[in-house]
Amino acid sequence: MSGPAPLGVVVDLDDTLYPQADYLASAAAAVGVAAGSAGLDGAAVHAALRSELAAGSDAGGTIDRALLAVGVPASALAEVVPPLVAAFTLHSPPRLSPYPGVEESLRQLVAAAPLACLTDGNPAIQAAKVAATGLGPLLPVVVVSDSLGGRAVRKPHPAGLLAVAGRLGLPPGRLLVIGDRPGKDVAVAAAVGARSIRVRQGEYAAAPDEPRAEAVVDTFPEAAELALDLIGALTHG
């Protein structure tokens, strides 16, 4: 890695700090319960939704497609979908376990440099995830890109990272972004001239390194150690 040392660190949330599959499984179960309460086959809806989410969690309309898959007619979707979407959106999982070593790594980072989290998604959902991981006290600044303009400003749109830079009082180009998705986390860093480290884990672990981060590692603690080294916070001896 070359260039000026980063002055602040920005971490992604989903599949960077904890496995997003755990949240999706929990939310899908909540939708299944709501479907059962609405007179549908809750178990079938639950299974169909899990299948849809496994095919790609970024895609919209997953609940619609799950209902169609279990035989709900398209003409009934307008009535059936909204309460199920509400069950998904309002779901607050009791606990989401961070990846091993994440909590200690965040403690080291927040003690060494300004630290923030930049995440895409429904603000209520993302807030529930942060709360369930128990990592909130270690993330002094959390910016949810959707709160700045909806899906249109999700990463790699630079709006979220620029907002983080403003909250931290740092030049955008002096940030270091740690995330799991090249097309989002690495790309948004490149969009503002910032540096990045990719963590190869979660749903997109096998995605190609395009664009390529300055470093690619397998775990968040590895990424944090690199970040600390770059900002001069590690003592070697």
Please report the pLDDT score of residue 55 as a whole number: 85
Instruction: Of 68, 75, 73, 66, give the one whose Cα is nearest residue 45.
Output: 66
* pLDDT class of 32 with cuts at 50, 70, 90: very high
Residue 154: phi and psi, rounded to 5, are: -70, 155
Tens of pLDDT, residue by residue over 108-161, are: 999 999 999 999 999 999 999 999 999 999 999 999 999 999 999 999 999 999
- Rounded distance, CA 212 to CA 27, Å? 32
Tens of pLDDT, residue by residue over 168-188, are: 999 999 999 999 999 999 999
Q: What is the dihedral of CA 29, 34, 203, 123, to 10 degrees?
A: -130
Question: What DSSP string runs through 6-50?
Answer: PSEEEE--BTTTB-HHHHHHHHHHHHHHHHHHTTS-HHHHHHHHH
* pLDDT class of 236 with cuts at 50, 70, 90: very low
**Per-residue tokens: 18:** 């904890």
Q: In which element (H, E) is residue 143 found?
A: strand 141-144
* DSSP helix/strand/coil, 120: coil
- Rounded distance, CA 110 to CA 135, Å? 12
pTM across the whole model? 0.93
